Amino acid sequence: MEQTRLKKFLDDKVKHFNRVSFIREDPICIPHLFSRQQDIEIAGFFSAVFAWGIRKTIIAKSNELMERMDHAPYQFCLQHTDADLKKLLQFKHRTFNDTDLLYFISFLKHHYSRYHSLEDAFTKNFTEDLFSIEDALNHFYNYFFSLEHVPARTLKHIASPGKNSACKRLNMYLRWMVRKDDTGVDFGIWKKIKPAQLIIPLDVHVARVARHFKLLERKQTDWAAAVELTSALRSFDPKDPVKYDFALFALGALEKF
C-alpha cells in the first residue's frame, strides 16, 4: 500500500480504537479504576506485567490482585503488615506466582519509600532528554533486581533490551503512563519521558501486521524489530509514533487482519 494511503488507513484505525469504549475490555481498565497517581502506576504496572494470554483472564487476575490489596495498592505496598502479605499467598497468573508477587511488593515498598513516582525507577540518574527508552528499560531491569535475595524465578518477569527482548509489556506500560491525548485512554501522568521517545509494544500480532504493510523487515520479534518498526512509524508521526499501537494491535489481535 502506498505510504500516504497507508498513513490515512492507520490514522483512521487509531481514531476508531483510541476511544473510551476501548478501555473496558483492555488491561488498561485496571489503572482506570483509580485516581491517585501512585495507585494508577502500581495497578498499571501489574496489569502490564500480567498482559500475556487472553485479555479477559488478564483483567480478571489483575482485579483479583487489586482486591487482595484492598483496592489501595499504594497504601498496601507502603504500609502492609505480615498479615496483609498472607493475603497474597497462592496468587497465580500463568507462570507468575506468589513468590514473584512478594518480591514485586518488596521492590515497590523500597522504591516508593524514596521516590514520589515509579517514573523515577526508569529515569533516575539520567539527564532529561539525554537518554533513550533502551537506556531506561535496561536501567529499570537492573534497579528492579537490585534488592537482596532476588528469587531466580522472578527474573523472567521483567524484560530488558539488554536481553534482546522486544519488551512488549513494559513498552505498553510506558505508553499508558506517558502518552496523553483528548480521548482519555492513556494517562499521560509521566513528564520526564516524551511520547516521541517511546518504542512500540511489539508482539506477534503487531509484528505480523507490520510485516504485511512492509513497515517491518526483520524476521525476529525482538528489540531490534521494535526499534525498526518504531522508526517506520515516526515517518507518520514523529511526535507520537506509538499511537499506532492502537491500529496495529487491533488489526492483528482483534480484527485478525
What the block records as the C-alpha cell of 78 is: 507502603
> What pTM does this model have?
0.96
The mean pLDDT value of the chain amounts to 96
Alpha-helical (H) ranges within 20-97 are 20-23, 37-49, 55-68, 73-79, 82-86
DSSP 89-134: TT-EETTEEHHHHHHHHHHHHHHHTT-S-THHHHHTTS-TTS--HH
Give the tens place of pLDDT for each residue, 67-76: 999 999 999 9
How many residues would you count in the chain?
Answer: 257
d(C-alpha 84, C-alpha 125), whole Å: 33
How many CB atoms lie under 10 A from the CB of residue 220?
A: 10
Q: What are phi and psi of 92, to 5 degrees?
A: -155, 135
Residues in a beta bridge with 97: 92
Over pLDDT 90: what percentage of the chain? 93
Q: What is the spatial distance between Cα 179 and Cα 186, in angstroms, rounded to a whole number?
A: 6
Specify burial of residue 214 (Cβ count, 10 A radius: 0-12, 13-18, 19+): exposed
Averaged pLDDT for residues 146-168: 97
Q: Which phi and psi angles does 96 have, rounded to 5°?
A: -90, 120
Question: Cell digits for 177?
Answer: 503512563
Distance of CA 178 to the CA centre of its chain: 10
Residue 129 has a pLDDT of 67
Domains of the chain by residue range? 3-254
Give the pLDDT confidence of 175-218 residue by residue, as tens digits: 999 999 999 999 999 999 999 999 999 999 999 999 999 999 99
